[in-house]
Amino acid sequence: MERRILLTECQDAVGIIAKITNVCFQFKLNIIRQDQFASQEDNKFFMRTVLEGDFTNETTIDAFINTVKVVLPEGAIVHLKDDHKKKLCVLVTKEAHCLGEILMKAYSGALNADVVCVAGNYPDLGELAEKFNVPFKLVSTDGITKEEQEKQMMKVIDECNADYVILAKYMRILSPDFVNHYPLGKIINIHHSFLPAFIGAKPYLQAFNRGVKIIGATAHFVTNNLDEGPIIEQDVIKVTHRYDPETLAKAGHDVEQMVLIRAISKVLDDKVFIHGNKTVVF
């Protein structure tokens, strides 16, 4: 017996859950877990169904997917996902904490993914990547235009055939050409503040100047609007007036790596639907 995940997105209507579960019964598939959400603002329906059964026959799989589509409202989006390991390409600059956490989780099997490449605009984290036998590619900004550097970086990403690109404190603002080269949902960023607060550079200095009592981190999909893509995961920790910008940043590192790993895990487990500029996360 094998497990697959059925992802369904369509217009909401009466009886959708019953129709899908009936198709599962017809194809002798056991439902292990099911999560659903209906958005009242735009009448959209989302469902994630974990199935167990015989998925060895591709013709039967295609018939199952097509039968599900037939019983749903027109325009329904249906995917049947397996649990194969995804490929991650991680982009970095100089800070090691998020990269280190990703490499360790992938190495230990806590992430259902292989880090196939680490690429940076500085050489500082090459040694860390190599300790985990992950190739490091230096794509420097020295002596070339931003456009040329991005072309080189996109070539690195495309050549490693990554399923997802993780910006693990990659301190470069991506151009529209770079972002539009990839489908929405492929690039995940960790932002070192609790968005929408303190967008842009030096968020911990901004937080210090504002006298905040909590700091946080936000993992989100990347769009052409800086730090405004659909949010996947957020968390905060408490701080006091005794924290200066440096200690705020040190405390923030823990929450950054925790939030990023949670977000990556949920995406890898097919628990995230993009819903406009928001997400539905099961």
User: Mind telling me the catalytic residues?
Assistant: 227
Whole-number Å distance between alpha carbons of 16 and 75: 14
Q: Which of 55, 86, 64 is nearest to 264 (CA)?
A: 86
Q: Residue 92 burial by CB count (10 A; 0-12/13-18/19+): exposed, middle or buried?
A: buried
Whole-number Å distance between alpha carbons of 198 and 203: 5
- Number of Cβ within a 10 Å radius of residue 218: 27
Q: Which of 121, 125, 82 is nearest to 103 (CA)?
A: 125
Which tokens sit at 31?
């439902």
Whole-number Å distance between alpha carbons of 176 and 147: 11
Query: Residue 278: what are its φ and ψ, rounded to 5°?
Result: -125, 180
Kindly provide the residue ranges of all beta strands, DSSP E only, lying in the chain, ordered along the sequence: 2-11, 30-39, 44-53, 77-81, 86-92, 113-120, 136-138, 164-167, 187-191, 214-221, 231-238, 272-275, 278-281
Contact 204, 126 (CB under 8 A): no
Question: Cis bond leading into 123, ω under 30°?
Answer: no
Whole-number Å distance between alpha carbons of 229 and 245: 26
Q: Which of 12, 21, 84, 16 is nearest to 51 (CA)?
A: 21
